[in-house]
Structure 1
């Protein structure tokens, strides 16, 4: 194989790697919850709202796509396959930040969803004691 063919193959591989990173980033973005899904919730009570919100915040699919994007990005970067990877790096960081926020909020909602029924039970006990 000539050096020219090697360069051409490397260029094709670099384009494919970048394409893989971009595809996984787009899939991660698509898997993020819709803003309306976490803002508008229909439920009969507080626990229903919290459970609906917790479901809307689910981000496992985002995590998987982000992991794949970072994997291919790392390979491409180590192979020095990207002429300019700043846009990819920024997109990865942006999605990571949103994912961190989703996880934090989901943890908080989970804590509330587990303590609200306990609080309700305590309040009902106090009310029963008064009667």
Structure 2
């Protein structure tokens, strides 16, 4: 084997090692950028609207998505170049983080419409309590029907 070929193999080995380090570093950064578990479980607020708004803000994946994208990019490059001897651990970590980020996104989508829904429900219940939702006749709709039957 020529010296040039040995150098190329050595350089490829170094590049593969650096690529794996990049993937691992990006995965670590993605995990660190995820919200803390307590942030999506505990929320202090005076009312449901405050809890929902806090929860919605806490469900942001933020930089975790970008770091995960970087990890996937370098992982894909390494796989296509057949640079990794065994990358099943990296693949598993990427899949687990993708699932977590997807769960955050799904939960956030579910929360997004709830504050408006809860406000509308509150208003409807307040109207029902005061009778304001019974129409222009002040809630005498049923009495008019009784008179017509006599």
Considering the TM-score relative to the shorter chain, is it more than 0.5?
A: yes
Q: Which consecutive unaligned segments of at least 5 residues does structure 2 have?
A: 133-137, 139-150
Q: Distance in 1 between matches of 2:83 and 2:92?
A: 17
Q: How does 1:43-82 map to 2 (within 5 A)?
A: 43-82=45-84
CA RMSD of aligned residues (A): 1.4
TM-score w.r.t. length of structure 1: 0.94
Q: Which residue of 1 aligns with 2:30?
A: 28
**What is the 5 A alignment of 1:1-131?**
2-129=4-131
Count how many residue pairs are aligned between Structure 1 and Structure 2.
Answer: 131
Point out 4+ residue stretches in structure 1 off by more than 4 angstroms.
none
Shift of 1:114: 2.3
Q: Which has the higher contact order (CA 8 A, sep 6+)?
A: 1
Q: Give 1:105 shift.
A: 0.9
Q: Distance in 2 between matches of 1:61 and 1:46?
A: 28
CA distance in 2, matches of 1:28, 1:127: 49
Larger radius of gyration: 2
5+ residue gaps, structure 1 = none
Q: Describe the SS at the equivalent of 1:19.
A: helix
Deviation of 1:104 (Å) = 0.9
